[in-house]
Amino acid sequence: DSGVTQTPKHLITATGQRVTLRCSPRSGDLSVYWYQQSLDQGLQFLIQYYNGEERAKGNILERFSAQQFPDLHSELNLSSLELGDSALYFCASSPGYGNTIYFGEGSWLTVV
């Protein structure tokens, strides 16, 4: 158990819908990262937050957004969902810069 908690574990939704994925980082970790893993794209970095502020942005679509709250948990919002958004979404956390990151178990999203 890495200490990073993600909910829900599985989610099935229809095209055009909006979902929210939630992440609780390890106790004391200030940085949260979101990754998308699909069969054809591998592990893609989406976005990083550090102590509530956005720090780095990767291949995140405009239909997706995220935030980190004062209690350091984070949410990833996916809207106008398309079939191609079906993937495993990982949250990871670390104490700060230059530290190892630890992954949650992921949220499986299936768009039908």
Which residues contribute to the site for other proteins (CB under 8 A)?
2, 4, 33, 35, 42-43, 45, 48, 55-56, 90, 92, 97-106
Q: Which is nearer to other proteins, 4 or 21 (CB)?
A: 4
Nearest one of 84, 105, 110 to 35, comparing CA atoms: 105
Q: How far is the CB of 19 from other proteins (least distance, A)?
A: 19
**Shortest distance in whole angstroms from residue 48 CB to other proteins:** 6
Nearer to other proteins, 22 or 55 (CB): 55
Instruction: Give me the least distance between CB of 50 and other proteins, in Å please.
Output: 9
User: How far apart (Å, rounded) are the C-alpha atoms in residues 16 and 111?
Assistant: 9
Number of Cβ atoms within 10 Å of the Cβ of 12: 11
Q: Least distance in Å: CB of 6 to other proteins?
A: 8
**CB-nearer residue toward other proteins: 5 or 79:** 5
